[in-house]
Structure 1
Amino acid sequence: MDDLVTDVRAFNRFYTRVIGVLGAGMHDTPYSLTEARVLFELDARGEMETAELRRLLGLDAGYLSRMLARFEADGLVTRARSASDARRRLVRLGESGRAAYRTLDEASASAVRDMLAPLTEEDRRRLMSAMTTIQEILGEAPEREPYVIRPPRAGDLGWIVHRHGVLYEQEHGWDETFEAMVARIVADYVEGHDPKREAGWIAEVDGEPVGSIFCVREDDRTARLRLLLVEPSTRGMGVGGRLVRECLAFARRAGYERIVLMTVDVLTAARRIYEKAGFQLDERHTEHSYGTTVTFQTWSRDL
């Protein structure tokens, strides 16, 4: 046992050195690892109760209070009492806080890319396997999502077009004009997207794609959510909600102030996902499209 303790402690020292958390600030910023985690959670969730943030990160109440007070003084966060319960304190990032998080996020992603770049594909797979093993043994695996969210790879864009065409024909009787529209959206994305302001994601289970979503530019202030799809075999696993949260988090980091989407009234499961994510119905209209009569709905929310 003593030898194992020594080995684990040696690994911990090695890994903290690799990811650079021993300095005063993460990635040449003034923020510690804990402060960076607080900024991350607030960016990902939009708004949180102070008590929820403390429980999530396992922080001392006094320490977190002092940190948030400093963040507030620096203009990174705003704090206010809940309108429904004055005992609850809500925290959200301000514009300076979102900018600080974007700087941290981009620096962190760049550092990881630099670390992975020299590795072969086989070494990357071994690394993923080792990380998964550590999570499983130390008890985090039960909370891990049963799917992977990743950027599109070669072949995924064709899969998106194909599965949209097949599923919407099977489930709603739509004709080939819908598949052609999806193909145009995907082609436009590939030919002209700005990776700093537009992105796509694939949900994967056991190495196979099961879902998709894209965040694209509508205008300088507004993003558009497009091509949300979840395979019938994986519906109910939380894939759709997770994809939407990924899209919203990216839109905030990219500096958008608002996000919009178009859906149709027959997609009740998608509508529930959008409502849960804070979208509100703006308008609807009915027209003849895709070989049938379709009621389109426009939804939006502030970021």
Structure 2
Amino acid sequence: MSEDNIAIRPIEQADNPKIAKAIRSVLIEYGVPKVGTAYEDKALDCMAETYNKPKKAYFVVAKGDEIIGGAGISPLDNYYGNVCELQKMYFMPEARGKGYGSKMMAKCLDFAKTAGFDKCYLETMPYMDDARKLYRKVGFKSIDKPMGDTGHYSCTVWMLKDL
């Protein structure tokens, strides 16, 4: 998937510092708390290694050597059931409004289905309106309480989708 030198591809080890910087930058831009969110996740600095495991994948939006976005799928932490979580889906300003979110969502959900998950869960913030609009567009529905225990206690919007 590429156009104008932009590709959505699996993460590589060389991408680790670039995606960590991009995610933290977006979180700061939106005023997301640094605690109880992805900002403080240890995995943020070693994403390629974290997602190089069965039933896990992380994809990046690459513009040449730059990483301008990403998203991943992983089994939902501390949950017994065949549910995955859409994780760390963030895009730099230059990647927004160009359809990459929809393409990334399709890639992640296709991976989740292929990996055999029944449902996909996500957590977000109430003021991330564009993200929630995209999630609803692909069939995520709001739920009343969190599932599993991701450690992201500052995220107060929880959504679930049947795969």
TM-score, structure 2 length as denominator?
0.79
Q: 1:283 to 1:189 in 2, by over 3 A?
A: farther
**Separation in 2, partners of 1:295, 1:192:** 22
Paired amino acid for 2:67:
P
Q: For 1:149, what is the secondary structure of its paired residue?
A: strand
Quote the Cα distance in structure 1 between the aligned partners of 2:142 and 2:33: 23
The question of whether the paired residues in 2 share the 8 Å contact of 1:220 and 1:256 is answered with no
CA distance in 1, matches of 2:32, 2:51: 31
AA aligned opposite 1:224: E
CA gap of 1:279–1:145, structure 2 versus 1, over 3 A, is farther
Amino acid at match of 1:205: K
Name the CA distance, whole Å, in 2 between partners of 1:191 and 1:144: 25
Q: Does 1:215 align with 2:73?
A: yes
Does residue 1:198 correspond to 2:59, yes or no? no
Greater C-alpha Rg:
1
| Aligned counterpart, 2:96 | 235
Name the Cα RMSD after superposition. Answer: 3.1
User: Take 1:244 and 1:302, find their aligned partners in 2: how far apart are those partners?
Assistant: 14
Alignment partner of 2:20 out of 158, 161, 169: 161
Letter in 1 for 2:29: Q
Q: Which structure: greater strand fraction? A: 2
Matches within 5 A, 1:6-17: none
**Greater relative contact order (Cα 8 A, min sep 6): structure 1 or 2?**
2
Equivalent in the alignment of 1:298: 158
Deviates more, 1:155-164 or 1:243-252: 155-164
Q: What residue is the counterpart of 2:123 in the other structure?
A: 262
Residue 161 of structure 1, CA deviation: 1.9
TM-aligned CA distance change 1:265 to 1:239, over 3 Å:
same
Aligned length, in residue pairs: 155
8 Å CA contact retained: 2:70, 2:91: yes
Matched-pair identity in %: 21
Q: Please say if residues 284 and 295 of structure 1, whose CA atoms lie closer than 8 Å, have aligned partners that are also in contact.
A: no
- 5+ residue gaps, structure 1: 1-142
TM superposition score normalised by structure 1: 0.45
